[in-house]
Structure 1
Amino acid sequence: MAALAATDSADLEKLLLEVCSSPSWAADVAASRPWSDRGALLAANAAAMARLTTADLADAMAGHARIGSPKAGDATSEREQAGIQGVDRALLDELHGANAAYEAKFGHVFLICATGRTAATMLAALRERFPNDPATEAEIVRGELRKINDIRLGRLLDEPS
């Protein structure tokens, strides 16, 4: 925690942009220093997420791979979507089709905290959320992004420097 809190501003923003690709979020979290502990950093994440505009949410979502299609060579994307590894082709095809319908309706990727989820549970969640109106879905996305950021911030704190 101390090392992260002591990181110079430019380097800290780069690190935070690896957690969440919204420049507004990264600047907001960086400006909340110093953090007394992990809980304070996670609270800063929650507060910054709550303040994101629609455009900021779009920036944040732009950093995420489509569910079922982790970014090749991106260890974070592959780790977070480990639940799709080894899935049979039919289920993957269903997931891709549901993603396409969701993207056509909402104009952005389906975003869910995929860590620890199977492909089947992600598909079920996608189908459950599909009937939502855009405002409801935006708030669910905001919550999912917060969970993803919490996990990524935890990894940042736990990884050796």
Structure 2
Amino acid sequence: MHLKEFNAAGRDEAAAALRPCLDIQRWIDGLADARPYPSLDALLDAGRRTANPFAPAEIDAALAHHPRIGERAQGNSTEAKLSQAEQAGLGEADAAVAQALADGNRAYEEKFGQVFLIRAAGRSREEILAALNTRLSHTPEKEQEIIGQQLREIAVLRLEGLIEQ
């Protein structure tokens, strides 16, 4: 969708275009209601600012849509396709890295009660594994802060991929 089309779209259509980027209603409403945007950069900046910080319940809702790192999102929805493309960029992992990610995911979920979330785009599996191991030492409060940042990064990357200048 071009920015001009996004700006001119009806409220429901604009909200539907935003939902695969980040399924947090406050973020969707904030971006849809602030139209028109003079440039893609202005939209992306708004995407970064609109829900900063996220409330814990918003993070929980958003995490419900994210697969574990190293696992493919299921389905044919736009959100699933975006997640599949992001993780496909990781390439094939050797067996040791794949096992370490699986073990790390389990340890993270046991400690924090939620999936490990990281912006996969632009990172190797080894970089993600290193970040996972570092984040296992965090407090729950520190992790909430980092997850919020990762959600924003993912949302803005997806927004940039869906809306063209």
TM-score, normalising length: structure 1: 0.91
Highest RCO, 1 vs 2 (Cα 8 Å, sep ≥ 6) = 2
The aligned amino acid for 1:48 is T
Could you tell me whether the CA contact under 8 Å between 1:113 and 1:147 is conserved in 2? yes
What TM-score, normalized to structure 2? 0.89
Structure 1 residue 109: deviation in Å? 1.0
Q: 1:130 aligns with which of 136, 140, 150?
A: 136
CA RMSD of aligned residues (A): 1.6
Kindly state the Cα deviation for residue 90 of structure 1 after the two structures are TM-superposed: 2.1
Structure holding more helix per residue? 1
Pick one of 58, 67, 70 that aligns with 2:69.
Answer: 67
Letter in 2 for 1:46: R
> What is the match of residue 151 of structure 1?
157
Contact 1:25 1:52 in 2 (8 A): no
Asked if structure 2 preserves the Cα contact closer than 8 Å seen for 1:67 and 1:81, the reply is yes
Q: Which runs of 5+ in 1 are unaligned?
A: none
State the shift of 1:83 in Å. 4.2
Aligned counterpart, 1:110: 116
1:96 is aligned to 2:113: no
1:70–1:77 CA contact under 8 A, matched in 2 = yes
Same amino acid, percent of matched pairs: 35
Displacement of 1:89: 2.0
Q: Which runs of 4+ in 1 moved over 4 A?
A: none
* Contact 2:40–2:164, Cα closer than 8 Å, also in 1: no
1:20–1:63 CA contact under 8 A, matched in 2: no
1:19 alignment partner, SS class = coil
* Corresponding position: 1:76 with 2:78: no
- What is the distance in 1 between the residues matched to 2:134 and 2:70? 17
Q: Which runs of 5+ in 2 are unaligned?
A: none
Summarize deviations over 1:75-96 as a string: whole Å, max 9, x none.
Answer: 2112111244321222111101
TM superposition shift of 1:34:
1.6
Q: How far apart are the structure 1 equivalents of 2:129 and 2:106?
A: 12
